[in-house]
Structure 1
Amino acid sequence: MARPETNFRHRQTRDRNWGGTLTRWHDVDFHAESLALAEAVRRTPSPDDDHHAHAERLHRAGDVVWGRSRDHQQSATISDLFAEAGLDHEPDLLSAYYEFWEPHTLTDPEVRPMWEELRATGLKVGVLSNTVWPREWHVGFFERDGVYDLVDGDVYTSEVPWTKPSPLAFGAAMEAVGVSDPAACVYVGDRLFDDVWGAHNAGLRAIHVPHSTIPVNQVGHTEGEPDATVTSLSEIPAVVRRLDAS
């Protein structure tokens, strides 16, 4: 995102969303996801130990947890999903869930050259993502794809109390890179509620990447109007220069 705050003339910080922005949007079979997640349920010799029933409970729990994120900006973890479903789980058995998602985590090939171009101008790059996954999963994906060395600060909502569009979530991302002035920040994301309206509500500018098919139940109460829209991540450095000059 940015240097510690000084009197630079240009915008100092560039925030980044993850899923649907740094990774390309994928449609996902959420029933299959719940079945994979249910592999981590602590099994018991009981008639109630039904894998498909567990998956259904976890699917409903996911709707509740993400509803809290949408309506109350309340964060959650994978453990919270199981707690909401009323199920005990073994963290060591989350491998099936991880493996289900891993093919959907590939970093867009345009990310590294785009970040390199931004950082070559003296800017810093930050990541802020609404997620229940632990930090080490996200960092591992970035490291696998050879881009984490370009990240100056990253915040995953599983490790803070808030989710986007809360200004506190954006504030946590700014703090991660040592910036206190939201006017020095531009946020890039695929969601008009969480990313665009949220960024504007927190005092940042916002660039929209309209590649994602946002489920109706995740849209939120307001759709923001971005400062710019791009169809390719490679366009972002030029857009940033234009926003800095305006």
Structure 2
Amino acid sequence: MIGGVIFDLGDTLILGRSAADSGSVWQSMAADLTAWLQHNTSTLPDPAVFQQRFLHHSAQDKLRRDVTHVEYSTAAILAQVYTELGWPLPTPQQAAAALHACYAPTEVHWDPAPGVHQMLQALQQAGCRLAIVSNAGDSANVQRLIDRHNLRAYFDPIVVSADLGIRKPDARIFDALLNQWQLPPAQLAMVGDTLAADVLGAHNAGLRSVWLRTRASRADNVAHTAGIIPDAAIDTLAELPAVLRNLPEHAQREPMLSIIIPVFNEVATITNLVERVRRVPLRHELVLIDDASTDGSRALLDQLAQAPDTIVIHHAVNRGKGTAIASGLAAASGAVAVIQDADLEYDPQDFVRMLAPIREGRAQVVYGARNLESQRPLMRFGNQMLSALTRILYGSQLSDMETCYKMMTRAVYQTLALECRRFDVEAEITAKVLRAGHRIHEVPIRYTARYENKKLSPLDGLPTLRALFKYRFWRS
């Protein structure tokens, strides 16, 4: 039974009707902010420079927040620009008035969603507690919109990311609300229009989720429909009370994905790689295995280990990629695991498409099949030859045995009992999966060959050949 409902604000309770794209709207808002500061303060010696730096930092912070889920408020960006340029900060009253001038012109372009008040009244009559949790860069803007559309009386609490410094889908944004309501997370539902924020945030916090498809065709939602599955979806708010009454007893969830990342002397790429992995809109944990690196990777991994989604394992001596993968799989807790090299040859966004056949029950093992055109001829020939041999020995239709992207369910990866220490582990995994009777489902992925700091050499093909024969004829 649902005892509380949490709503997003923009494009959920209120709908925007501006036809302009968000980039041009933000440029207009930045111009209004600059103009107010220029005409009402004496601390803006160069308006053009301020506006350029403000837009630059806004764009950078938007990219960072999508990875870190840290909210960079507009007030903080304003102060950052002034400090960077060495100018005296406006007073708090001036900053608030400038931000009002920035946001106020946009507020007239929002209308209440059809039937919103009737829906909220029906939920209240059913005994549901109501709250708003909104991702927004300016809290005062959110509060004015709520008052403008007579929504305040329905909600307690009202949570704005700009006040907390964190954004959905970070589960911590719901902590104060859960503490106030004292209801089990499974009795609460999050309703919103954005899969990667509202629905994924609900799942991360253990809440139920209802996706309002007001902006289903927006690019970010289209990109995530295969990987983020709400408990229910509606097209209008009028449908919500009935949907909440009839939610299935057990929530649908995309499975937790354990991402196994062996690391050996990858200090130049590991931070970028981890940021890219964390940007994938799936419930995940990162399992990073340092294989006795000597280039500073160890200290960097210890910093990354402070994140709650990250496990770091250190090998005292270098034991090889195969042993690192075995250590990672032993520590994994996900219903599904995938292997990710620590370089930048692969695109982790492909995990979403790879997971779909597993989530839909069509496969237990999925490989990401590469286009090898970017490889040097000798390496490409070696890969093609090993895949062809796999097809002959194991009767499979596999096109890319050597791909790093091997994804499988927990029922499969817990039975592997890996023995190979080095790169021949790719053949061992494939051989054991096929001999266990699993069909390997392949999904095309993006791939760009890398040669800087490359540890794989043509000579590694010989142990791989031996592993293919060994596990076909001499090992069960």
- Give the residue type in structure 2 aligned to 1:36: D
Structure 1 or 2, whichever has the larger Rg, is: 2
Seen in structure 2, the aligned counterparts of structure 1 residues 40 and 78 have a Cα distance that, compared at 3 Å, is: farther
Question: Residues 1-246 of structure 1: matches in 2 within 5 Å?
Answer: 10-25=1-16, 26=18, 27-28=21-22, 29-41=25-37, 42-44=41-43, 46=45, 49-51=46-48, 53-85=49-81, 86=84, 88-89=89-90, 90-91=94-95, 92-134=97-139, 136-176=140-180, 178-212=181-215, 214=218, 223-243=227-247
**2-side partners of 1:199 and 1:175: how far apart?**
16
TM-score between the two structures when normalised by the length of structure 1: 0.82
**Further displaced range: 162-171 or 79-88:** 79-88
Runs of 4+ in 1 over 6 A off after TM superposition: none
Aligned-partner SS, 1:236: helix
**1-side partners of 2:35 and 2:184: how far apart?**
45
| 1:88-128 deviation per Cα after TM superposition (whole angstroms, max 9, x unaligned) | 44322333213222113433242211110111101111100
Q: How many residues align?
A: 229
TM-score between the two structures when normalised by the length of structure 2: 0.44
**1-side partners of 2:70 and 2:36: how far apart?**
24
Match of 1:4 in 2: none
**1-side partners of 2:128 and 2:69: how far apart?**
29
- Structure 1: any 5+ residue segments left out of the alignment? 1-9
**2-side partners of 1:45 and 1:231: how far apart?**
47
| 1:123-171 deviation per Cα after TM superposition (whole angstroms, max 9, x unaligned) | 111100011212x442332223222111122111111132111110122
| 1:52-84 deviation per Cα after TM superposition (whole angstroms, max 9, x unaligned) | x43332222222222332211212322212134
Seen in structure 2, the aligned counterparts of structure 1 residues 139 and 187 have a Cα distance that, compared at 3 Å, is: same
Residue 34 of structure 2 contacts residue 47 of structure 2 at CA under 8 Å; is this kept in 1?
no
Residue 106 of structure 1 contacts residue 141 of structure 1 at CA under 8 Å; is this kept in 2?
no
Residue 34 of structure 1 contacts residue 56 of structure 1 at CA under 8 Å; is this kept in 2?
no
Match of 1:3 in 2: none
Residue 191 of structure 1 contacts residue 214 of structure 1 at CA under 8 Å; is this kept in 2?
no
**2-side partners of 1:152 and 1:180: how far apart?**
14
Aligned-partner SS, 2:32: helix
Percent identity, aligned pairs only?
A: 24
Aligned-partner SS, 2:130: strand
Match of 1:5 in 2: none
Seen in structure 2, the aligned counterparts of structure 1 residues 215 and 64 have a Cα distance that, compared at 3 Å, is: farther
Aligned-partner SS, 1:39: helix
**2-side partners of 1:95 and 1:201: how far apart?**
33
**2-side partners of 1:64 and 1:181: how far apart?**
37
Aligned-partner SS, 1:198: helix
- Give the residue type in structure 2 aligned to 1:39: A
- Structure 2: any 5+ residue segments left out of the alignment? 251-476
Residue 193 of structure 1 contacts residue 223 of structure 1 at CA under 8 Å; is this kept in 2?
no
Residue 131 of structure 1 contacts residue 156 of structure 1 at CA under 8 Å; is this kept in 2?
yes
Residue 157 of structure 2 contacts residue 177 of structure 2 at CA under 8 Å; is this kept in 1?
yes
Question: Does 1 or 2 have the higher relative contact order (CA < 8 Å, sep 6+)?
Answer: 1
**2-side partners of 1:38 and 1:214: how far apart?**
30
- Give the residue type in structure 2 aligned to 1:152: D
